[in-house]
């Protein structure tokens, strides 16, 4: 058997602002013989997500930063090509959160390994709409936002992997869904393809006025993905009793002086009265992931949830794919195709 070579991206230096190529190093190592109880996964797709930029900083956060020399964090979906575990067999498809690499060795007993079935939805979808971003939307909106039929839900980064699901789920739950996105093409997609009631183009130069017009009855739930000027415009339109699930704030991720940034916590915390708002992570509901994935998959099959992906070819292009996400060049969920199925 030909010796397998694992390509992996490791963190080479801390970025200042937008991460440049020298922040990473591509390392090639032989794939080791797997031990009893382990499985070997050939990576097919790699997920690229905004949170990765924050993990590159040496700063306190909800998760430990990546250390220099460590593999870049990320989730993949692939196929089992060797198994010494009773839990998985060769040919099984599985999601694993084990970084930017072409082969993954993992214990078959790892509870965070998540089965994928390409007969239900395409494999890449397990990294997007029915995967971590979709579950983030599912739990963040329902458990933190607590929507009621007839309420107005606003979501920033509305054409992205999380935002698309938030708005479509809001419609399923009987709410008015309003998106905020960058550019006429993305806004048209959000309303015409995804069925949002309105979408505000933050690049059009009249964010506050356009948002007020799109939300004539005010805003009951704001699903935060961006921060900065979007947060400030939303803050002026919140209804009494509004709820704000804070998923992230991508506008600040490349800041060179993050401690002095005016984050959504500052913006909403300064209001009187202070609206209910909190940061959340999807792992809070880990025990319910399987149920959420099934429900999201069913909505896709029923045509109630649609999605779009940007697929970048080749693991070697993962750094550029992350920069594309951070600058909004991607459309929908960003994945890297690492190998053929």
Domains in the chain: boundaries: 5-127+307-337, 132-283
Tell me how far apart the alpha carbons of residues 64 and 73 are, in angstroms, rounded to a whole number. Answer: 11
pLDDT-based confidence at residue 4 (cuts at 50, 70, 90) = very high
Distance CA 273, CA 324 (A): 38
Residue 249's pLDDT band (cuts 50, 70, 90): confident
Q: Yes or no: say if 68 and 12 are a contact pair by the CB < 8 Å rule.
A: yes
What pLDDT is recorded for position 64? 85
Give the mean model confidence (pLDDT) for residues 74-94: 97
Query: Residue range 278-291: average pLDDT?
Result: 94
Q: Is the dihedral of CA 269, 135, 218, 326 positive or negative?
A: positive
Q: Assign 256 a pLDDT band (cuts: 50, 70, 90).
A: low
Residue 258 confidence (pLDDT) above 60: no
Q: Could you tell me which of 288, 268, 285 has the C-alpha nearest to residue 276?
A: 268
Q: Determine the pLDDT at residue 49.
A: 92
pLDDT at position 324: 95
What span, in angstroms and rounded, lies between the C-alpha atoms of 105 and 84? 11
Q: How confident is the model at residue 31 (pLDDT cuts 50, 70, 90)?
A: very high
Where would I find the H helices in 153-285? 161-172, 184-188, 207-214, 228-235, 264-269
CA separation (Å) from 255 to 21, 61, 157, 216, 228? 18, 15, 18, 34, 12
Give the HSE-up count for residue 42: Cα atoms under 13 Å, Cβ half-sphere. 12
Q: Distance between CA 333 and CA 162 in Å, rounded?
A: 8
48 token code pair: 């690229």
Place of tokens 């009855």: 217
- Enumerate residues 6+ apart whose C-beta is below 8 A from 1: none
- Give the residue-averaged pLDDT of 42-53: 95
**pLDDT-based confidence at residue 254 (cuts at 50, 70, 90):** low
What is the second-level CATH architecture of the domain 132-283? 3-Layer(aba) Sandwich (3.40)
pLDDT at 252: 62
Q: What is the mean pLDDT of residues 22-29?
A: 97
Which of 41-55, 57-71, 96-110 is the least confident region? 57-71
- The mean pLDDT value of the chain amounts to 94
Average pLDDT estimate for 111-136: 94
Q: Tell me: pLDDT of 259 over 70.
A: no
Give tens-digit pLDDT for 157-210: 999 999 999 999 999 999 999 999 999 999 999 999 999 999 999 999 999 999
Residue 294's pLDDT is: 94
pLDDT of residue 263: 85
Model pTM score: 0.88
* Residue pair 209/181 in contact by the 8 Å Cβ criterion: no
C-alpha–C-alpha distance, residues 240 and 225, integer Å: 21
Q: Are 332 and 309 in contact (CB under 8 A)?
A: yes
pLDDT band at 62 (very low <50, low <70, confident <90, very high): low
The pLDDT, as a whole number, for residue 141 is 98
Rounded-to-integer distance, Cα 266 and Cα 257, Å: 15
> Is residue 261's pLDDT more than 90?
no
Cis preceding-peptide flag for 188 (omega within 30 of 0): no
Residue 22 has pLDDT above 80, yes or no: yes
> CATH classification of 5-127+307-337 is 3.30.70.100, yes or no?
no
- What are the backbone dihedrals phi and psi of residue 202, each rounded to the nearest 5 degrees, phi first? -70, -15
d(CA 144, CA 223): 9
């Amino acid at each position: 058997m030909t010796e397998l070579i694992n390509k992996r991206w490791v963190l080479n230096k801390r970025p200042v602002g937008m991460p440049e190529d020298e922040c990473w190093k591509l390392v090639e190592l032989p794939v080791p013989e797997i031990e009893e109880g382990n499985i070997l996964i050939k990576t097919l797709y790699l997920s690229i997500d905004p949170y990765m930029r924050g993990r590159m900083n040496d700063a306190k956060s909800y998760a430990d930063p990546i250390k220099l020399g460590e593999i870049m964090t990320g989730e993949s979906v692939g196929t089992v090509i060797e198994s010494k575990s009773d839990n998985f067999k060769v040919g099984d498809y599985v999601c694993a959160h084990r970084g930017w690499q072409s082969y993954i060795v993992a214990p078959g007993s790892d509870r965070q390994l998540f089965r994928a079935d390409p007969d239900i939805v395409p494999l890449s979808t397990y990294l997007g709409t029915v995967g971590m971003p979709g579950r983030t939307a599912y739990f963040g909106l329902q458990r933190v936002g607590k929507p009621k039929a007839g309420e107005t839900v606003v979501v920033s980064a509305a054409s992205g992997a999380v935002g698309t699901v938030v708005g479509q789920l809001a419609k399923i739950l009987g709410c008015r869904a309003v998106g905020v996105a960058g550019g006429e093409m993305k806004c048209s997609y959000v309303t015409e393809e995804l069925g949002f009631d309105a979408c505000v183009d933050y690049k059009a130069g009249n964010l506050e006025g356009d948002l007020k017009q799109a939300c004539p009855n005010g805003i009951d739930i704001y699903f935060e993905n961006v921060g900065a000027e979007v947060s400030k415009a939303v803050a002026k339109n919140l209804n009494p009793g509004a709820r704000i699930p804070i998923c992230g704030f991508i506008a600040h991720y490349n800041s060179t002086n993050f401690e002095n940034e005016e984050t959504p916590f500052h913006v909403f915390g300064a209001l009187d009265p202070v609206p209910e708002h909190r940061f959340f992570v999807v792992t809070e509901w880990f025990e319910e992931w399987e149920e959420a994935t099934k429900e999201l998959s069913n909505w896709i099959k029923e045509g109630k949830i649609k999605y779009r992906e940007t697929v970048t070819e080749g693991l070697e292009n993962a750094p550029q794919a992350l920069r594309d996400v951070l600058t909004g060049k991607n459309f929908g969920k960003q994945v890297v195709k690492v190998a053929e199925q």
